Amino acid sequence: MRLKKEDLNKILALLAKNRELFVPGQVRGIKQFKLWDGETPELDGENTVLPPKDILFPKTEKMYAYKTGTETEISEIVDAPERVIFGIRACDMHSIECMDSVFIREGYEDSFYARRRAKSLIVAVACPGAGVNCFCESMGLDPDAAPGADIFLSGGGEFYGVTANTEKGETELKKWTQYLTDGDVPKGEAHCSLAPAMSPELSEKLTGLFDDDEFWQEVTEPCLQCGTCSFVCPTCYCFDINQSSVGDEGVAFRCWDSCMFSDYNQNAGGHNTRPTKKQRLRNRYLHKLAYFNERHGMELCVGCGRCINKCPAHLDIAEFIDKAAEVCHD
Amino acid sequence: MSDIQSALHKRARALLENGDVEYVIGWENARGENKTRPAFIRRAEDAERLVWNRWCVNSTAKYLLHDRWPKGKIAICARGCDTRAINRMLSDGQVKRENIYILGIPCAGVENQICRRCAHRNPLVYDELLGEPAEEKTDFDRFEKVKEMQAMTLEQRRQMWEDEFTKCIRCYACRNVCPACNCRECYADQYRTGWQGKQFNAVENRVYGLTRAYHVGDRCIECGECERVCPMDLPIMLQTGRMLMECNELFGQYECGLSDDETPALGTYNLNDADSFG
Amino acid sequence: MPVNEKWMPKILAFCCNWCTYTGADLAGLNRMKYPANVRVLRVPCSSRVSPQFVLRAFQKGCDGVMVCGCHPGDCHYTSGNYYTRRRFMVLKEMLEFNGIEPERFQTRWISGSEAGKFRDTVAEVSEIVTKLGPNTAFNERRAENV
Amino acid sequence: MIEINHSCTCNGNPLVPQVCRITDIRSETGDVKTFRAQTLDGKRPFLPMPGQLGMWSMPGIGEAMFSITAFGEDWIESSIKSVGELTEAMHELSVGDFVGLRGPYGNGFPADALKGSDILFIGGGIGAAPVRSLIRWCALHREQYGRFDIVCGARTIDDVPFREDFFENWPSMDNTEVHITVDRKTDNWDGSVAFIPDYVETLALPPENRKVVMCGPSIMIRLTTERLAKLGFARGDIITSMETRMKCGIGKCGRCNIGSKYVCLDGPVFTLTELDELPAE
């Protein structure tokens, strides 16, 4: 089935019915996912600056409300609206699969994420053309495929090829029939700009490099220890739990956190388990490229290039991969 | 520029070969075109990795704070703004002059908007100057953008900052890159004190933005690094700029990082200071 | 707060222990009447008040903040209030620049004997802030859902 | 892929605590108190296996993870040292006050695998807390285990926690010997004065069919391990419980990882061989 691109706004109107529809667009000069305002979404050009993870895993999520005083009460906060995420690309779709693995599939189910995820419909779109720092193909992805999305709009040209990958997607597609026609759509031509030397062996090689202080000092020295890479990363899912009270009422919330921050590993007694930037950035790289693989059987990097775009010190994970591969081959 | 770069190679190599310095902080090419990153050269044979061109945008000075007790001297490539940063840190007692060897680099401006409003294109302090001094410029108004904003109404300004701080993701890049942000432990990291809430919302972000501006505003050396690194493109310099402008108006000509023993405007007083409080 | 309830501003007054606090005390002893929506917080010197305290007060729901200290020249610690003066002359402008009505923030010099001035100042600030209405830009409760 | 086979039983959402009431507070030492809690309807908040963790919280102040040191029909208890904001506030609590509790988390001690072995328990300072949970568990099935040697080390005799257990309950247990050693002599103590590593070496227990369960400061663990190695103990036979900052307790928030393992989920109990396989952070 295929869909004429000029009919896109009609489809968006369908998707927005009784639901919050998120599409890529500009918010004060920053491209990010925002509520659809009737305008044509910005599907072309570079990917959004901020990933769509906020929609499923909010920057700040209230977990429960409490009351203290003579009695103490705790009540869970359930906030999972019906949502549609439209226009995410292969890399970001895969990042949601990574988060699914963390929050839903492995061990305990995280109720907050799982509820939001269950109420979300994801419509992914073929990548229209990679940015200067993209390398999703090296991470095993195809810019013109998103098997994890409920619905995928593929290919280039005047039409999108339309496929439903899930039951939820199929149900949704039934509403689209009047806009769908038969026919083929050529394969999208977008390809990544970068091709770092990613290999199945890298994970093990990196773990082997753990004690190579000189190597880590060299790759981490320019790092400024800010949280930019973590916050623009579509897969960074670490969070902090905190409370905020006014008088004897309050809420406990969780919020994004970054393993680059000095207070991330600060213990109550004053001990810090990763006091130096070398240790912290090493942990981040290894989490992305080695540790996550051991637990979940995939990398925690999708090759979207956002951290490369935004790193104040111009650190570059693709360059890091090459460098590690080179050192390993010695 | 290539003259300066070759002089830099020669000097860096010599300093390392003679064991005068432990390492040299400068810039090297990063992957891709038109991109450099801070470099830390420890071996004489790596001296050629150093580059100097208009893509050398990163401030080098902040890295002195990453190594407060170096084993040997640190040589540092420093443009005008970097030397102001070094002066700032010297004034604040954060680094020791005898630990630093400054390779001064005259700079006509790199690929950064802020360089158009740079009043100090030549290093203010150095152990040696590489190349010929650059031509200084004065054909600009330091506070042009601040003034534009002052022309707005209060309500417009409130809305503008509301929008901007809604965008802010509090990654703390502005703090971490700032040479005036040199507290050993930032108030925002002191999680037990609770001054900075961990929530991401416009109010917490505003509290952070304004607190940071106030912490550094009277010590800001106007290098513009905070704006360059902001992933959300917040006009952070407007805040510190407004504060500097006010210091200029209230306390006389005021510019930071020009010498190594400055007292910040709010760290001193004058009996005849302006007083509208009554 | 329900909209129909009459709104009363919350005002926090940081008062120097050596002068304004004594002045406020004296106002009380003399049974002077002043608006009850002012909370006095005693500090050892007006220069103890960091601008962060002021921001924090706004954030936690104050609609107006006052910093009161000794008259310049009369500081118990010789020079504390000279620092206060510089600090808050600038802060007033910074608040204004950030779209916050500068009148919400007031600094006053009130000595231990000026009970009347304390009463008048509090009444005046209370009136100003009541006219301005609730502080929203910096109030975290307003921002709950942002 | 790593299999996880334990689950949080407290309620549907593993991140939301249930309100519990403090039913007993005992002062163990100058800065350690033991808190006993049960649900508002008088039940045990959850059933912890020995060595498992519980997340204690005080609404408005914070949450922190502690080892559950004992449980009964309708209560659980943890021994908490006053070191930070939350623990200081907890030390101000009285019986009848409310806390939040969620758990149990972590793998706990391999109580089944220890069956049939002699066990040397070592607890240094507050490290005695997790060890206590295992001793209590083993005591319930005393006949399934071999000889017990219980070593408790503390700064002074006044810093020895769980005095009733160390001085009365455990010495009277079958085939069990309790050894107390202190770092500093005081007038009210005429027993052993020695650091745990030295003391354990002088005990010279043979390693055959004996496992070691050891908790305490990391320096104590390292030095004691060296001495145990001298005595011929294999690293795989030495079991310890890790301590680090945790936030979620369910392996999501990322903070407590050592390599690909999460202390809150895959630990806190590891054999030294298992720890050897992790990156040396």
Residue B215 lies in a domain: yes
Residues B121 and B50 in one domain: yes
Q: Chain A residues with CB inside 8 Å of D60's CB?
A: 66, 68, 243, 245, 248, 250
pLDDT, tens only, A165-191? 999 999 999 999 999 999 888 888 889
Whether residue B154 is found in the same domain as residue B112: no
Contact assignment for A263 to B38 by CB distance below 8 Å? no
Q: Is A289 helix (H, G, I), strand (E, B) or coil?
A: helix
* Cβ-based neighbours of C119, under 8 Å, separated by 6 or more: C27, C32, C33, C34
Tens digits of per-residue pLDDT, D196-233?
999 999 988 899 999 999 999 888 999 999 999 999 99
Hey, what CATH class is D18-105 in? mainly beta
Q: How far A85 CA sits from the closest chain D CA (Å)?
A: 24
Strand, coil or helix: D145:
coil
- Main-chain dihedrals φ then ψ at residue C102, nearest 5 degrees: -65, -20
Q: Chain centroid to CA B218: how far? A: 13
Total number of domains in chain B: 2
Q: How far apart are CA D260 and CA A123, in angstroms?
A: 32
Domains and CATH numbers, chain C: 11-135 (3.40.50)
B230 and B117 fall within a common domain:
no
- Would you call A288 an interface residue with chain B, using a CB distance cutoff of 8 Å? no
Neighboring chains of B (3 or more beta-carbon pairs < 8 A): A, C
Closest CA to D256 of D226, D274, D278, D277: D278
C57 near C65, Cβ under 8 Å? yes
Which residue type is seen at D200?
V
Instruction: Express as a percent the part of chain B with pLDDT over 90.
Output: 89
Spatial contact of D117 and D95, defined as CB atoms under 8 Å apart:
no
Phi, psi of B188 (to 5 degrees): -70, -20
- Does chain B touch chain C (at least 3 C-beta pairs within 8 Å)? yes
- Is the minimum CB–CB distance between A296 and chain D shorter than 8 Å? yes
User: Rounded to an integer, what is the distance from CA D174 to the centroid of its chain?
Assistant: 22
Contact status of B31 with chain A (Cβ, < 8 Å): yes
Domain map (residue ranges) of chain D: 18-105, 118-241
According to DSSP, the residues that pair with B56 across neighbouring strands are none
Q: What is the third-level CATH fold of D118-241? A: Rossmann fold (3.40.50)
D254: left (phi over 0), alpha (psi -120 to 50) or beta: left
Name which of B171, B189, B229 is nearest A263 (Cβ-Cβ).
B189
In terms of domains, do B84 and B28 share one? yes
Show the domain range for B167: 144-267
Backbone angles phi, psi at D187, to 5 degrees: -60, -30
Give per-residue pLDDT as tens, D47-56.
999 999 999 9
- CA-nearest residue to C143 within chain B is B203
Q: Which residue of C has its CA nearest to A58?
A: C146
pLDDT band with cut points at 50, 70 and 90 for residue A263 = confident
Give tens-digit pLDDT for C36-45: 899 999 999 9
D171: which 2 tokens?
């010495």
* Cβ-defined contact of B229 to A261 (cutoff 8 Å): no
* Residue B137 lies inside a defined structural domain of this protein: no
Compute the count of residue pairs across chains B and C with CB atoms less than 8 Å apart: 116
The string of pLDDT tens digits covering residues D111-145 is 889 999 999 999 998 889 999 999 999 999 899 99
User: For an interface test with C, which of B210, B218, B220 has the most C Cβ atoms less than 10 Å from its Cβ?
Assistant: B210
Burial of residue D89 (number of CB atoms within 10 Å: 0-12, 13-18, 19+): middle
Please classify residue A81 by burial: count the beta carbons closer than 10 Å to its beta carbon, then call 0-12 exposed, 13-18 middle and 19+ buried: exposed
CA-nearest residue to D266 within chain A is A107
H, E, C per residue of chain B: CHHHHHHHHHHHHHHHHCCCCCEEEEEEECCCCCCEEEEEECCHHHHHHECCCCCCCCCCHHHHHHCCCCCCCEEEEECHHHHHHHHHHHHCCCCCHHHEEEEECCCCCCCCHHHHHCCCCCCCCCCEECCCCCCCCCCCCCCHHHHHHHCCCHHHHHHHHHHHHHHCCCCCHHHHHCCCCCCCCCHHHCCCCCCCCCCCCHHHHHHHHHHHHHHHHCCCCCCCHHHHHCCCCCCHHHHHHHHHHHHHHHHCCCCCCCCCCCCCHHHCCCCCCCCCCC
Strand, helix or coil at D120?
strand
Backbone angles phi, psi at D18, to 5 degrees: -100, 150
- pLDDT tens figures, B126-181: 999 999 999 999 999 999 999 999 999 999 999 999 999 999 999 999 999 999 99
Q: What's chain D's average pLDDT?
A: 90
Given a cut of 90, whether residue D21 has pLDDT beyond it is: yes
**Which residue blocks in chain D are alpha helix, DSSP H?**
85-91, 128-140, 163-164, 196-203, 218-230, 272-276
- List of residues 6+ apart from C35 with CB closer than 8 A: C11, C122, C123, C126
Chain D interface, best mutation among A266, A272, A295, A296, by max D CB count within 10 A: A295
The single-letter code of the amino acid at D133 is S
The encoded tokens of residue A260 equal: 């680059």
Report the candidate in D18, D7, D12, D90 with the shortest Cα–Cα distance to residue D52: D7
Q: Where are the beta strands (DSSP E) in chain C?
A: 11-16, 38-43, 64-69, 105-109
pLDDT at D279 exceeding the cut of 60: yes
Question: Is it the case that chain C and chain D have 3 or more CB pairs lying under 8 Å apart?
Answer: no
For residues A149 and A93, the answer to whether their CB atoms sit within 8 Å is yes
Q: Does A13 touch chain B (CB under 8 A)?
A: no
Chain A partners within 8 Å of B227 (Cβ): none
Contact A268 D248 (CB under 8 A): no
Q: How buried is residue D55: exposed, middle or buried, by Cβ count under 10 Å (0-12/13-18/19+)?
A: buried
- As a whole number of Å, the CA-based R_g of chain C is 15
Task: Give residue A304's pLDDT band: very low, low, confident or very high (50, 70, 90).
Answer: very high
Q: Check whether A198 has a pLDDT greater than 70.
A: yes
Is residue B30 domain-shared with residue B148, that is, in the same domain?
A: no
Tens-place pLDDT, residues A91-100: 999 999 999 9
Instruction: Name chain D's partners: 3 or more CB pairs within 8 A.
Output: A
Predicted confidence (pLDDT) at residue C1 exceeds the cutoff of 70: no
Q: Is residue C143 scored above 70 in pLDDT?
A: no
Q: What is the pLDDT of residues D71-112, one digit of tens each?
A: 999 999 999 999 888 999 999 999 999 999 998 999 999 988
State whether B120 and B181 are in the same domain. Answer: no
pLDDT band, residue D1 (cuts 50/70/90): very low
d(CA C93, CA C105): 10
pLDDT digits (tens, 9 = 90+) for D164-202: 999 999 999 989 999 999 999 999 988 899 999 999 999
| Segment C117-141, tens digit of pLDDT | 999 999 999 999 999 999 888 887 7
pLDDT band at C142 (very low <50, low <70, confident <90, very high): low
Domain-located, residue B278 = no
Of B80, B100, B129, which closes a domain?
B129
Q: Are B9 and B48 in contact (CB under 8 A)?
A: yes
- Among candidates A112, A241, A291 on the partner chain, residue whose Cβ is nearest the Cβ of D260: A291
Distances (CA, A) of D94 to B46, B165, D22, D33, D89: 65, 43, 7, 11, 11
By Cβ distance, the residue of B154, B273, B278 closest to C86 is B273
CA A201 to chain centre: 24
Suggest the residue from C10, C140, C144 to mutate for an interface test with chain A (most A CBs closer than 10 A).
C144
Interface residue C17 vs chain B (CB under 8 A): no
CA atoms within 13 A on the CB side of D4: 23
Taking Cα atoms as reference points, which of C49, C90, C52 lies closest to residue B244? Answer: C90
Neighbours of chain A (3+ CB pairs under 8 A): B, C, D
Q: Decide if B38 touches A, using CB distance below 8 A.
A: yes
- State which H helix or E strand residue D26 sits in: strand D18-27
- Both B161 and B111 in one domain: the answer is no
Query: B41 and B103 share a domain?
Result: yes
Contact D13 A267 (CB under 8 A): no
Beta strand D269-271 with D238-241 is antiparallel
Q: How far is C140 from chain A (nearest CA, A)?
A: 10
- Split at pLDDT 50, 70, 90, the class of C3 is low
Find out whether D55 and D11 touch, Cβ atoms under 8 Å: no
**Is residue B184 located within the same domain as residue B107?**
no
pLDDT at residue C145 greater than cutoff 70: no
- Residue B272 within a domain: no
CA C82 to chain CA mean position, Å: 18
Q: Which residue of C has its CA nearest to B275?
A: C85
Displacement of CA D186 from its chain's centroid (Å): 26
CA distance D171 to chain A (A): 33
Q: Is residue B275 part of a domain?
A: no
Report pTM. Answer: 0.92
